[in-house]
Amino acid sequence: MASLAKEVVLITGANSGIGYELARQLLSKGSYHVLLGARSADRGTTALHTIQSQHPQHSPNISFLPLDLASDTSITAATTHITTTHGRLDIIINNAAVASYTAPDRSAFRTAFDTNATGPYLLTKSLISLLRQSPNPRIVNVSSGAGSIGRRLTPASPMYKIQAEPYRASKVAMNMLTACLYVEYGLNYGVEGEEAKEGEERRVKVFAYDPGFTISNLSKANTVENGARSAEETVRSLVEVVEGRRDGEVGRFLHNTGEYPW
C-alpha cells in the first residue's frame, strides 16, 4: 500500500474538459495525488501522459483509474484499488457527465441518470468509509445551472428555454443527492476534522458546484461563439471550492460568483 502525505483526490470524467483541466491545475500545485478517473483506458492514459509531460516534476503524483459510473463492477474495482493502493481518500470530485439532445426517450433518461446522478452517488457511498477517515474530507458534485428548478421557472433566466430534459432532470437528481449526502455526512454527522480524535469519523464537507458554460465535448453548443469560456478559466473557481476557500458556503449549490437556488 502506498503511503502518501499528499491529499488524494479522485476526479471522474477527467480525460477531457473540466475534469482534465482540474486534474492539471491540482497536480501543478504539488500538494495532491490526483486519481484521473475515466471510462476509456485509451483516452484516460493519453490524458495522463499529456498532463505528466506538462508537469514532469509532479508526474509521480497522478495516476489513471479506470472508472465507468454506469457499471457497479467498475465502481467496486475502483474502490478496491483506491483502498489497497493508496489507503486513503480526501476528496471526491464527481465531474463525469453526459448530455443527450435527442428525443427524450427512456434510453436517454437512463443514460443521463446513470452517469450524472446514480453513478456518482453509488461511487460516493462506496468510498464514504475511506473518505471519512481523512482529516479534511470533501465531496464536490459538479452540477449545472440547468439543474436548478428555480432557474427553470424563471423567465428571465438564461436556463429558462433550454429543453434537454434528461440532462436537466439528472442534474436536479444530482443536486438532491448532494443535499442528502450533506445532511447524512456533513450537517448531522461526525466532528470537524481538527476536532476529531483518533478513531473518530470526520464531518464531510459537501458541495454542488456549477463551473459555468465551458468549452467542452459535452455538447456541440459549448463553443466560444456561443459564449462558453475556456476550462482553464472556469476551473479556477472550482479549485477555490476544492482548496477550502468557500467552506463558509458548505451544503449549497454554488457557482463562480455566488449561489443558485436548488
Cα separation, 143 vs 149, in Å, equals 13
Cα separation, 199 vs 228, in Å, equals 46
Give strand pairing partners of 9: 34, 91
Catalytic one of 20, 121, 171, 182: 171
Q: Which of 250, 252, 258 is nearest to 204 (CA)?
A: 250
Catalytic one of 20, 32, 121, 167: 167
171 noted as active-site residue: yes
Q: Which of 186, 5, 185, 9 is nearest to 82 (CA)?
A: 9
Q: Grid cell 495522463 — which residue?
A: 48
Cα separation, 112 vs 165, in Å, equals 10
Q: Residue 5 carries which side chain, given as an amino acid letter?
A: A
What is the Cα gyration radius of the chain? 17
Residues designated catalytic:
167, 171
